[in-house]
A and B are shown apart, each in its own frame.
Chain A
Amino acid sequence: MSKPSSAELQQMARATFGRELSERQAEAYRGRLPTMVKNVERLQQWAKRLGDTAPAQVQRMLGAAGDD
């Protein structure tokens, strides 16, 4: 698979994340940005089946810390 060009990376960042990339950023993010774009696309697909699900709760209320 060929690596995306800087112009393609800049287009991805703009379209998916609303960000403008410098040349340094485009070069530094080359390995990760395409995967992040896919992650966001997957989230959008999965969002259709979330219904009324609340977020996972892994933190606890102050004062209730440790209650099981």
Chain B
Amino acid sequence: MAAKINNIIRFSSLFTPKHVICQTKITERDELLLEMLRKLALVVGIGDAEDAYQSLLQRENEIPTVVGPGIAMPHVRLSSINRIIVGVATSQAGIKYAPNINQPVKLIIMTLAPKIAPGAYLQAMSSLAKICQYPATADNVARLDNAQKVWEFFDQDGMTLEEHLKASDIMGPVTVKLQEHDTLERAIDLFVRHQIRDVPVIDKDGDLIGVVSTHELLKVCLPDYILWIEDLMPIINFEPFAEILRKESKTWLTEIMTMDYATVIEDAPAAQVAKEFAKQKVDHVYVLREKKLVGVVSLAMFLNKILRE
């Protein structure tokens, strides 16, 4: 089996047909997960399968890892292994995966990653991003009637692991954003409603043109020359905020927008994101495709993905 070509690792090299449970009759999620772990323990050795099962279950109960229509990618980090191990199971009838997910899961791709390999799971998941997007993938694989055919499905071109984790692998969607024609009033509303500190501002083409932050807003209300005064008496009733309140509906965002924010392009290594957090002391790094804002990585999200997921 071809594994590594020019430093590119095929996803299929992470498992063999022996790791596949094909067209299982099991209908319970937990039972199937345990069965998959036992099989992997038997075929490649993963240490205590029961321990791995408990960790896996705890994670799945917290956040079910359904990544596409009918596809789940449970994962866990184990200190007993030193390379990524993948197990695959298919079910024609489908299994009920989580209480709030109605669509039955027909394809389960289980990833076991070494504990000391940050991002290994994300790399594996990223290599399957394309097939996860097709609505028919789960049905198509579940219809394959033997393990060899299932393995061959994953051996197709394109399903390869990148050499490094990219910014786009760890970013999340930008759910809160402002348009350039929005007013300060709307920005303050968003700060308060979403309890966030930074909101990106985009133009009509979706290009990132700046960021408004609570810190900037505070600086506009309390500039340096007011902070020089030791005695609070002149501002005890928040007088400097009065002007902002009076004009918030007429003030364009550009008045308080800062250009001082961190960005990376979507193909940048995830380590670049870490560098921006450390170097620029920011809470968010914005991910761009050319100038277009395509995602955001928060520091909490970054730490969770790299150190925990």
A and B bind: no
A binding-site residues for B, Cβ under 8 Å: none
